[in-house]
Amino acid sequence: MKRAAWLAFFLFAACRPAPLPPLSPDAPADQPWSVGESDELRALDEELQPLVLEARKTYPSARQRFLRGLEPGYAFYVVVRLHDAEGRAEQVFLAVDRIVNGQIHGRIANELQIVSGYESGSAYTVAETQILDWLITNPDGSEEGNYIGKYLDGRKD
């Protein structure tokens, strides 16, 4: 009986997702944006396109840093868009665990507001070609990348 209990414990522990990387207490607070209609989303996508292009252009060097190994206190995220069965979309941060053969494997790092069928902390895999932005958080709370987030945080709407 003890053997079965230990086996069950190890299976449970192995299936539990790893905790998300800790952020510095000085990191900027996430400020979610909501876009209601598909016309609004199209207009915002058009407005953000230059930032997406810049993020994708600079992603390879951030990727290389991650693959070489970030120092303790640093964490790597990408921004992706999730879609649900109702046709809704939500942009989220994905805490990157590994990158293999053009696929980013990570965990959803947001509390979801719009889409259903996903949970914060859940594993998610996306093609590198689908990223919208990237972010490296630093121990002092500063950020590298996050082109879209910085733009939206400074936007006066």
pLDDT tens profile 75-109: 999 999 998 898 888 899 999 999 999 999 999 99
Alpha-carbon Rg for the chain in angstroms? 17
Whether residue 99 is contained in a domain is answered as yes
Is residue 52 classed as helix, strand or coil in its secondary structure?
A: helix
Neighbours of 104 (CB within 10 A): 24
Whether residue 140 is contained in a domain is answered as yes
19-28, 56-65, 81-90, 97-106, range with the lowest pLDDT: 19-28
The model's pTM is 0.79
Whether residue 11 is contained in a domain is answered as no
16-25, 27-36, 94-103, 125-134, range with the lowest pLDDT: 27-36
Number of domains into which the chain is organized = 1
> Would you tell me the crossing angle of helices 147-154 and 38-68 to the nearest 10 degrees?
130
Quote the domain boundaries for residue 61.
21-154
Contacts of 69 (CB under 8 A, 6+ apart): none
Helix (H) or strand (E) holding 76: strand 75-83
Whether residue 70 is contained in a domain is answered as yes
Whether residue 4 is contained in a domain is answered as no
